[in-house]
Each structure stands twice: as structure tokens, then as C-alpha cells.
A = this chain, B = another copy of it.
């Protein structure tokens, strides 16, 4: 991939001088168009060989355009807040919102490549991480993000020359330390591995552009023009067509579904409940205080039809925990900051660090439930969501999170009873709205969506727990006991 980036590309200073003023005007113009359009963000990754002009290019882009609407992030050492969350968390936090340009200096490629070069990770692990990156970038592209990936390259000889030049000048010597020379020592390996990485991740929706970095005029004008072309094309012609995920799940031919064949009749009497509740809550409490929890976190997801008892079940769980340990996140309409980001962003921001739990009352599964049924998401959006969600939960798990998901299953008859009861009680009346009655009419569509969701997102690392919830006591007990079991297993 680097062949034509080692031939010594060059540009006359006079050409550069002539071209740049026009390019700047055009870039600035496009930047403001993007800001006004506001429907997507542009994310530029700046990666490559040391000394190939990455920093200079980032500065130049900030100089050519209006830096007030550019979000530049450089990724160095992880902070302690970042360290006990999934690796991608810090990149999610740094995503520029729609309408803006984000420049990422160093990116999700840096760590996999360096770990591989230094021999800290095997080939298979490297391949797995590239695979994850492909999925992530595909998700970004599907969400409308314009993702531009620039790789700045230098031949071995030029790299050496460049490092020597930088070291020789007082003003630039600080930029070359032992780390840079160490990288140079591994040049061949480094370039080999980068070549693999770039080839494996040059996809239709987010191809790499390799730019030879030895001549500043050539390098700068190339980067600027590439950005101009991509942004102009995108603003003109709209988002690219991304090959759709597999067709939406078809209902089973025999009409038998998981939920339809589920046993809703299980019950627990109140004496038994009282007895077991104390024990189960005690067990849960002890588990959350276990020393092993310091390296783990818990992410709980509660989903269910309206009035399935999510709130009251969650309260039986929080009762068992110290209030400093958990946080409950009720998911309602997104804020405008959340709307300006890819779908999963609003969940990523709440991911707990080690030693903490987060309980989602409704969750990212909204996409394949309410958004699917009500048509808030396109078919393309909700069908691709299954994979995106699985990938998200896998990342959580790998970072030490114990992901526990509950579907509180009630029958339409029981829901009706509860709706009516709620209307009787003053402080519960606000919980029942016209919308709840409307949703109820779509019960079959919702049930189909739930069946598909469970089929497609019940994974080894994060299986669904379907809990019979017509009887509240049974549901609560079952939930707490299964939760404690899952945590115990995981620790």
C-alpha cells in the first residue's frame, strides 16, 4: 500500500503558494456549509510514521479552517477514568457532534498496531481488533459520519533523515525522543504491520488515503485537497449507500415463538417471598462488596412492555446495594446533545468504571423495539443494530463488565389490569398516558420485535433472562436470584 508513497512526491513552492489561498477559501466555505447542514459530522484520522508531518497537517487544517468548529483530540496515556472502561470509550467521548469537524491525532489504530509491532499481541488478536475497528467504522458510516482516514508515510531512509533534521534544530529537537528512535529501529516491522492494518481496514465506506510525508508542500496540499473533495462530494450527493445488513428476520413458519410458548403462570406466595427476599438481597449485597468487584463492573438492562414492573423490580435490587455503588439511568427521549451523536453514544457516556454498577431502565434495545415498531428508525438502522449491540456488549464484557439483561414478560391481560389499577392511584396516574394505550394496540408487533431481539442478541457473554412477570413477587425474586447467580459466576 505504500509503494507510491516512497517515490519522493514533491511540489514546487510556487505551485503551493498559488493553490493554497483558493483551497483555504473553499475549505472554509465547506466548513460553514457543514455547520449549517448539521446532519453529519466529519471525522479525520491522522495516523502514520513519526516525522511524516502529522502534527503539521493537523495544525494546518486548524489554520486553514475556522478552529472554533473543529474538535481536535490527541490521545496520549490513558487517564485513570479511561483505564477501567472499554478501550473505545475514550474515542466515543471525543466524537465531534454533527455539523463539526473532528480531528483525531492518534486513533483506535494506534494501540493495536504498536502492541503488534512490539510483539505484545499475537496475530490472531491483532486480526480480531482490526475486525472490531471495521465494525465500528461501518457503524459510524451507517450513522452518517463522514470518516476520512489519512496515513502519512515516509520511506525508511527519509524517516531517518527527517528525525536527524528535527534533532539538529533547537526549536524542533523536543519532538524527537528515545521513543521516536525506538520506532525507527522497528521501521520494517512497523511498516509491514501497518500495511496489513490499512489493507484490512480500507473498506468501501472508509478507505485509507496514504500521503507521502517528505515534502511539506506536497503533503499539505494533498491532505487539504482530499478533504475538500470528500466533503464537497458528501455535501452534494448525500450519504453513501452502504450495503444493507441481512434482511429483517422473518416470522417462523409454524407461528410458534419464544414468548408465545413461554410459561407466564409462575407464582410466589408472599410468605415465601419475604423469606427469600432477605436472603437474596443479602447475597447480592455481599457480592457487590466482594474484593473481586474492584476489577469488575456491572451493567444491568431492564426491558419489558409498559407496566411490566421494571421500576419496582429495580427498586428491590437497589435496596440491596449501597447507594454509592450503583447509578440508575432511566432512558427517555434523547437530549439535543445526544441527538447530535451516533445512536449508541448516549449509552456509552454512562458506562461505569470498575467497582461500580449502572442499571439501565430501558436501554439501547429501544432501537430494535419501540423505534422499529413505531418506525422511528429505518429498517436499515434497526436491522444493523443487532450486530452493533452485540459488539457493544462484547466490548463491555471484555473490559470487565458483567452484563445482565432482563426481559420482564407479562401477558396483555395482566397489563390491562395494571393500567386500570394505575389510574386509580393518584401518584401513579402520571405513569399512564394515551401513548401507553396506543402502544398496547400494537402488542403483536412488539411481541415479534421482542422475539427477534432475544434470538439475535442473546449471546454467550450477555444472555437474555426472560422472567415471567405476571406475578410481581415471582418476577422480583427470580430477577434478584438470577442477577446474584450471574455475578457469582462471573467473579
Interface readout for A220-250 with B: 1 if CB under 8 Å, 0 if not? 0000000000000000000000000000000
Residue of chain B at shortest CB distance from A55: B322
Within 8 A of B (CB), among A153-189: 174
| Closest CB in chain B relative to A111 CB, distance in Å | 18
Interface readout for A87-124 with B: 1 if CB under 8 Å, 0 if not? 00000000000000001010000000000000000000
Given A323-B103, A337-B337: A29 touches B66 (CB 8 Å cut-off) = no
Please, which residues of chain B bring their CB within 8 A of the CB of A71? 327
CB-contact partner of A63 in B59, B318, B335, under 8 A: B318
Contact (Cβ within 8 A) B324 A67: no
Please, which residues of chain B bring their CB within 8 A of the CB of A28? 427
CB-contact partner of A311 in B59, B66, B430, under 8 A: B66
Residue of chain B at shortest CB distance from A65: B315
CB-contact partner of A81 in B68, B79, B329, under 8 A: B79
* A80 in contact (CB, < 8 A): yes
* A32 in contact (CB, < 8 A): yes
* This chain's copy number in the assembly: 2
Contact (Cβ within 8 A) A327 B72: yes
Contact (Cβ within 8 A) B68 A330: yes
Residue of chain B at shortest CB distance from A318: B67
CA distance A311 to B68 in the complex (A): 8
Please, which residues of chain B bring their CB within 8 A of the CB of A326? 67
Within 8 A of B (CB), among A56-84: 58-59, 61-63, 66-72, 74, 79-81
Contact (Cβ within 8 A) B59 A323: yes
Most chain B CB within 10 A, of A59, A69, A314, A329, is at A59
Contact (Cβ within 8 A) B67 A314: yes
Please, which residues of chain B bring their CB within 8 A of the CB of A80? 79-81
Please, which residues of chain B bring their CB within 8 A of the CB of A319? 59, 63
Please, which residues of chain B bring their CB within 8 A of the CB of A63? 315, 318-319
* A328 in contact (CB, < 8 A): yes
Residue of chain B at shortest CB distance from A76: B324
CB-contact partner of A58 in B61, B324, B337, under 8 A: B324
Most chain B CB within 10 A, of A66, A81, A426, is at A66
Contact (Cβ within 8 A) A427 B330: no
Contact (Cβ within 8 A) A72 B323: yes
Contact (Cβ within 8 A) B328 A68: yes
Contact (Cβ within 8 A) B430 A36: yes
* A199 in contact (CB, < 8 A): no
Q: List 10 A-B contacts (CB under 8 A).
A: A58-B324, A59-B323, A67-B314, A68-B311, A68-B328, A68-B330, A79-B81, A335-B337, A336-B336, A337-B337
* Additional A-B contact list (18), CB under 8 Å, known A25-B427, A58-B323: A32-B427, A36-B430, A55-B323, A55-B324, A59-B319, A63-B315, A66-B315, A67-B318, A67-B323, A68-B311, A68-B328, A72-B327, A74-B324, A79-B80, A80-B80, A81-B81, A335-B337, A336-B336
Q: Hey, which bits of chain A sit against chain B, CB under 8 A?
A: 25, 28-29, 32, 36, 55, 58-59, 61-63, 66-72, 74, 79-81, 103, 105, 174, 289, 311, 314-315, 318-319, 322-324, 326-330, 335-337, 361, 426-427, 430
